[in-house]
């Protein structure tokens, strides 16, 4: 019991210190290795965790690990965390140019592949930097090895929002991605008013045809550096389109004549609306159910305007067939149910038509009988006259 209490007190003392000594590290005191840094690429910030004991073993402490050579900014300094084993120095900074503790931002472009093969310019932003050791030795030589911990997070800026069937306005799913991803901040919602204040809940029998459906794609909890730009929105009869018929509401600047885009690429939300329609292949169904999908781009505020110049490859707004299967593990779904119109007459109109047809048939039959009677009488009279003439001649 006394030994247990001693270990607890010793642990508390180590946790409470702002610096560790080599004797505090125990079995974690060793030479540095490539795996001493951990990187978490978040949607609004990047977090680093560097094992401190190898740095202490080399002759440094936590205050001598400098992020991107920035020493005078408190927000860019590391924090010692002894609550984990092995203990680490933690660094955290936002994903925002000018406020990312000296990190480098590099945006690259490449032709799209797979579901993005319709687009010739798919962007990825890479955020990178280095944590270096600062050697306080004064003189000509030093015995301390220089430590460098490099980090890098690559964020693709093009996403497919693909929604699964639900009866409420929208749904959001979280995504865990080792390389970092912004897709978990994106969501799609349907509304029934142009102010986007009344969510559209799908009625059991579907919405009326030609009813305007208002769509909004929003990025929440996302760094303010990026805006939302919808590259393509289309409908399909399958929640995961693969070799199924689809209808393009718009591709880039090519809009279907009944689709209206209200806002796109100007903020962290995009809005458009279209009248409810149905797929002809579902004409034998009471309700036409289809799914709305949007390929969504996150573009830097300064570059969004260049993507709105209609210079990219575009897919025709006619009905097309999706050839590429969807392999992304995390998707979001919105289903639309539309009533199917019917040409069946009301019962009273059907009965009225039947009665009218019956009367017409009766009148026609009476006229035909009268004509036949007249012809018969005429024939009898002519036969009698001809018989009398023959009798006189004989």
**Over 70: is that where the pLDDT of 8 sits?**
no
Mean pLDDT of 96-121: 88
Q: At 203, is the secondary structure helix, strand, or coil?
A: coil
The 10s digit of each residue's pLDDT in 215-240 is: 999 999 888 899 999 988 988 888 87
Q: Which residue ranges form the domains of the chain, and what is each CATH number?
A: 2-156 (2.60.40.3210), 158-339 (2.60.40.4100)
CA dist list (Å): 331 to 172, 200, 301: 9, 20, 25
Type and span of the H or E element at 11? helix 2-16
- Confirm whether pTM is higher than 0.95: no
pLDDT of residue 341: 58
Q: How far apart are CA 231 and CA 333, in angstroms?
A: 17
**Over 90: is that where the pLDDT of 144 sits?**
no
Whose structure tokens read 């003439």?
Answer: 389
Six-digit token pair at 218? 């929003």
What mean pLDDT value characterizes the chain?
78
| The Cα angle at residue 345 between residues 342 and 351, in degrees rounded to 5 | 160
- Note whether 159 and 186 are within 8 A (CB): yes
- Exposure string of 35-52, with b = 16+ CB inside 10 Å and e = fewer, is ebbebebbbeebebbbbb
Q: What are φ and ψ of residue 69, in 5° steps?
A: 65, 20
Mean pLDDT of 84-94: 96
Mean pLDDT of 83-111: 93
pLDDT of residue 242: 53
pLDDT of residue 12: 37
Confidence label for 113 from pLDDT (cuts 50, 70 and 90): confident
Between 4 and 295, the more confident residue is: 295
Name the DSSP class of 375.
H
**Over 60: is that where the pLDDT of 364 sits?**
no
pLDDT of residue 6: 37
Mean pLDDT of 316-334: 37
Q: How far apart are CA 296 and CA 234, in angstroms?
A: 12
pLDDT of residue 244: 67
Q: How far apart are CA 394 and CA 389, in angstroms?
A: 9
């Amino acid at each position: 019991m006394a030994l247990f209490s001693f270990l607890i007190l010793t642990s508390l003392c180590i946790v409470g210190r702002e610096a560790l000594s080599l004797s505090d590290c125990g079995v974690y005191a060793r030479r540095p290795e490539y795996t001493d840094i951990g990187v978490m690429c978040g949607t609004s910030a990047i977090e680093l965790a560097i094992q401190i004991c190898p740095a202490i073993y080399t002759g440094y402490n936590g205050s001598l690990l400098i992020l991107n050579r920035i020493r005078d900014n408190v927000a860019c300094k590391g924090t010692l965390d002894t609550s984990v084993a092995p203990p680490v120095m933690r660094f955290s900074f936002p994903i925002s140019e000018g406020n990312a503790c000296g990190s480098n931002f590099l945006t690259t472009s490449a032709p799209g592949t797979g579901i993005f093969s319709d687009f010739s310019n798919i962007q990825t932003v890479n955020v990178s930097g280095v944590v270096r050791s600062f050697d306080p030795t004064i003189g000509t030589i030093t015995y301390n090895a220089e430590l460098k911990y490099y980090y890098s997070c690559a964020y693709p800026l093009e996403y497919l929002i693909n929604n699964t069937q639900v009866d409420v306005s929208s749904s959001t799913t979280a995504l865990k991605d080792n390389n970092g991803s912004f897709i978990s901040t994106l969501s799609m919602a349907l509304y029934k008013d142009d102010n986007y204040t009344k969510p559209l809940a799908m009625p059991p029998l579907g919405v009326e045809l030609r009813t305007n459906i208002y769509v909004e794609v929003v990025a929440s909890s996302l760094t303010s550096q990026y805006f939302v730009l919808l590259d393509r929105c289309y409908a399909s009869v399958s929640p995961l389109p693969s070799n199924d018929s689809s209808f393009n509401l718009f591709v880039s600047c090519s809009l279907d004549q009944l689709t209206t885009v209200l806002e796109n690429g100007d903020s962290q939300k995009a809005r458009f609306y279209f009248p409810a329609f149905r797929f002809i292949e579902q004409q034998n169904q009471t309700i036409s159910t289809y799914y709305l999908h949007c390929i969504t781009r996150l573009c830097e505020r300064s570059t969004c305007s260049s993507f709105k110049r209609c210079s990219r490859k575009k897919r025709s707004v006619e009905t097309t067939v999706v050839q590429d299967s969807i392999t992304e593990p995390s998707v979001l779904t919105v289903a639309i149910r539309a009533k199917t119109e019917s040409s069946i007459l009301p019962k009273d109109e059907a009965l009225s038509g039947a009665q009218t047809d019956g009367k017409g048939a009766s009148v026609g039959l009476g006229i035909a009988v009268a004509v036949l009677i007249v012809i018969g009488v005429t024939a009898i009279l002519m036969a009698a006259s001809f018989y009398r003439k023959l009798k006189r001649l004989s």
